[in-house]
Amino acid sequence: MAASAIFILDLKGKVLICRNYMGNVNINEIDNFMPIMMKREEDADLSPVVIHGSTHFLWIKHSNLYLVAITKKNTNAALVYSFLYKLVEVFTEYFKSLEEESIRDNFVTVYELMDEVMDFGFPQTTDSKILLE
129 pLDDT above the threshold of 70: no
pTM, full prediction: 0.85
- Residue spans of the domains in the chain: they are 5-132
pLDDT digits (tens, 9 = 90+) for 35-82: 998 888 888 778 888 889 889 999 999 988 999 999 988 888 888 898
Q: Which architecture does CATH list for 5-132? A: 2-Layer Sandwich (3.30)
Q: What mean pLDDT is predicted for residues 7-24?
A: 88
In sequence order, what are the beta bridge partners of 49?
A: 58
108 pLDDT above the threshold of 80: yes
Amino acid 42: pLDDT: 82
Which residues lie below 8 Å from residue 31, measured CB to CB, with a gap of 6+? Answer: 13
